[in-house]
Amino acid sequence: MQDNTIAVESDPSGSRLRFAPRFNAAAAFIDRHVREGRGASVAIRTAAEEVTYAALAERVARCGSALLASGIPRGGRMLMVVLDGPAFFYLFWGAIKAGIVPVPLNTLLRAADYGWLIEDSACAGLVYSPELAAEIEPALAAARHRPPVVVRTEGGGSALPALMAQADAELDVAPAAPEDECYWLYSSGSTGRPKGAVHAQRDLAVSCQRYGVETIGVHREDVFFSAAKLFFAYGLGNAMGFPLWVGGTTVLMPDRPTPESTFAAIERFRPSVFFGVPTLFARQIAEFQRLRPDLSSLRFCVSAGEALPAHLLEAWRRLTGTEIIDGIGSTEATHMYISNRPGDVKPGSTGRAVPGYELKIVDEQGAELPPGCAGRLLVRGESIAKCYWRNTRPTLVDGWLDTGDTYRLDADGTYTYSGRSDDMLKVGGIWCSPVEIEAVLIEHPGVLEAAVVGREDADGLVKPEAWIVPSNPDGAVPLGLEAALVRHCKARLAPYKYPRWVHLVPDLPKTATGKIQRFVLRQRPPPGPAAGSDQPVAMERA
């Protein structure tokens, strides 16, 4: 293979992908498309503009040249607090082509969070959308480390468009090996402070080939639309990695994803693949009859972030005639490592291992468990992050990534999610999955979303506590819903699993990926005197 070859092929065993000794991801995802005759094809479509592959390649080169000229050195880290749009592509791939390390950040954070990330990353540069100035600028002013280069994506002579206009349109690809550092992604913070996962040049290509092409079958004719944003792993793969890998078209929407905005975008841009999260699918289903969208362009949909309840899959299929392909991935793994397949969807299951990834389920002592037993899920594959930045906790244990998720392997070879390992409850001396209780709760017509955590009762014993978003959180909620939910759970679950407290709330705390932050719920003040585990309790609304 020649330098910067992007043809990825399995070795004779089919277990690994081969890369050229020199491999810069920007050459694979950006530069090759013009050479392969796709220059006039549309790469990016927004409400305001279309960007062809030829224009994308030129702007990526100009952006990379501009970043180097501004003083960000090769190997330096560049934080990106940038809304979804073409500029995100120019910055991310321009940095990689120039040998700079892009670090996309969550655009929904506050100044204190950004200040911590600026200091933690010791970044050489920061680029931000002017819409986010109210949080970014105070963070820069307060941070003990101030990056030497700070650029806005728009406005003024020192903003990105002006810098790109003055920059060289020719930029040589920075030399790199497949295992060299390429970009970082900070974890979503579902369990506390985010950690910077350091990804290699090959990681996104591995994920796009193994999951995008080999698992869900995306191709050049596909139009991709992701409600999940570009700044985290799921959105980065959906809206940028997959379309650029196969030469397709991506639809970008900077707005907050709601049933109204996502349905409108699907009707306007006619995507063939839509990526969402269970929370959004639930709200879309609730609003479907009112909005009556035309979703006929969709081949299938994809869900991640939280396990997709079986009843949502069935309701979506009944309303739209399309499948939702549920899967699980992580920031550390780049994207998905377990997934259902188009035409092979098992409701309530996460599916089977993605090609190229090995899985095993272990007990608390690390011993591998047989099928049918729930335990901690470990994964191994070529797209796993090299390490965490400034974190002593190892990403890998003997070459395996500890996902922190509890799973069981079923007899048919599929994997079923039981919850985060740290979220598992021991009730009456028996391990209990909060996901199982949540699945029963959301079957009730009065429930839109549910989260279950452990809470100590008056005797210091852990019991399930449920936080409920009613089906009509902005309107009238039936009196007695809390007690009705307890009766519903008692009828469907083992006696020790029913929630001892039920709180009705307008929403649940979530990460930007849609994962419920159960640690936030656990930290909320206790609900007051708890009844004994075998006594009826008085429910109260939060």
How high is the pLDDT of residue 9?
Answer: 62
Residue 399 sits in a domain whose CATH number is: 3.40.50.12780
The amino acid sitting at 386 is K
Whether 26 shows a pLDDT value over 70: the answer reads yes
What separation, in Å, do the N-terminal and C-terminal C-alpha atoms of the chain show? 62
Distance of CA 453 to the CA centre of its chain: 22
Whether residue 228 sits in one domain with residue 262: yes
- pLDDT confidence band for 427 (50 / 70 / 90): confident
- Cβ-Cβ contacts under 8 Å for 166 (sequence gap 6 or more): 66, 69
Q: Among 30-39, 112-121, 491-500, name the one with the lowest average pLDDT.
A: 491-500
What is the rounded CA–CA span in Å between residue 260 and residue 336?
Answer: 28
How high is the pLDDT of residue 441?
Answer: 95
Q: Are 457 and 500 within 8 A, CB to CB?
A: yes
Whether residue 175 sits in one domain with residue 38: yes
What is the rounded CA–CA span in Å between residue 523 and residue 510?
Answer: 14
Whether residue 352 sits in one domain with residue 479: no
125 in any annotated domain: yes
Crossing angle of the two packed helices 278-291 and 259-269, in degrees rounded to 10: 80
The amino acid sitting at 116 is W
How high is the pLDDT of residue 462?
Answer: 79
| For the chain, percent of residues with pLDDT exceeding 90 | 70
Whether 352 shows a pLDDT value over 90: the answer reads yes
Alpha helices in 253-309 (DSSP H): 259-269, 278-291
What is the rounded CA–CA span in Å between residue 136 and residue 226?
Answer: 25
Q: What is the mean pLDDT of residues 342-365?
A: 94
Whether residue 383 sits in one domain with residue 359: yes
| Segments forming the whole domain that contains residue 364 | 223-422
532 in any annotated domain: no
The amino acid sitting at 92 is F
531 in any annotated domain: no
What is the rounded CA–CA span in Å between residue 90 and residue 74?
Answer: 17
Whether residue 452 sits in one domain with residue 331: no
What is the rounded CA–CA span in Å between residue 309 and residue 417?
Answer: 10
Whether residue 434 sits in one domain with residue 418: no
What is the rounded CA–CA span in Å between residue 150 and residue 189?
Answer: 25
SS (H, E, C) 181-240: EEEEEECCCCCCCCCEEEEECCHHHHHHHHHHHCCCCCCCCCEEEECCCCCCHHHHHHHH
Whether residue 416 sits in one domain with residue 429: no
**pLDDT tens digits along 494-515:** 777 899 999 999 989 987 666 7
Whether residue 351 sits in one domain with residue 314: yes
497 in any annotated domain: yes
Residue bearing tokens 């002006």: 162
| For the chain, percent of residues with pLDDT exceeding 70 | 89
**pLDDT tens digits along 304-328:** 987 888 889 999 999 999 999 999 9
How high is the pLDDT of residue 16?
Answer: 67
Whether 12 shows a pLDDT value over 70: the answer reads no
What is the rounded CA–CA span in Å between residue 503 and residue 12?
Answer: 56
Whether 140 shows a pLDDT value over 60: the answer reads yes
The domain boundary, picked from 407, 422, 437, lies at 422
How high is the pLDDT of residue 422?
Answer: 72
Mean pLDDT of the chain: 89
- The more confidently predicted of residues 213 and 187 is 213
- The closest alpha carbon to 406, from 427, 428, 378, 367, belongs to 378
Whether residue 391 sits in one domain with residue 444: no
Task: Count up the domains in the chain and report the number.
Answer: 3
Whether 242 shows a pLDDT value over 60: the answer reads yes
What is the rounded CA–CA span in Å between residue 95 and residue 68?
Answer: 9
289 in any annotated domain: yes
How high is the pLDDT of residue 27?
Answer: 96
Whether 335 shows a pLDDT value over 90: the answer reads yes
DSSP 331: T
Whether 5 shows a pLDDT value over 80: the answer reads no
Whether residue 37 sits in one domain with residue 133: yes
The amino acid sitting at 410 is D
The structure tokens listed for 223 are 């139009």
Whether residue 444 sits in one domain with residue 416: no
**pLDDT tens digits along 117-133:** 999 999 999 999 999 99
What is the rounded CA–CA span in Å between residue 117 and residue 119?
Answer: 5
The domain boundary, picked from 201, 235, 251, lies at 201
64 in any annotated domain: yes
Whether residue 231 sits in one domain with residue 146: no
**pLDDT tens digits along 446-498:** 999 999 998 887 766 778 999 999 987 666 777 899 999 999 999 888 777 89
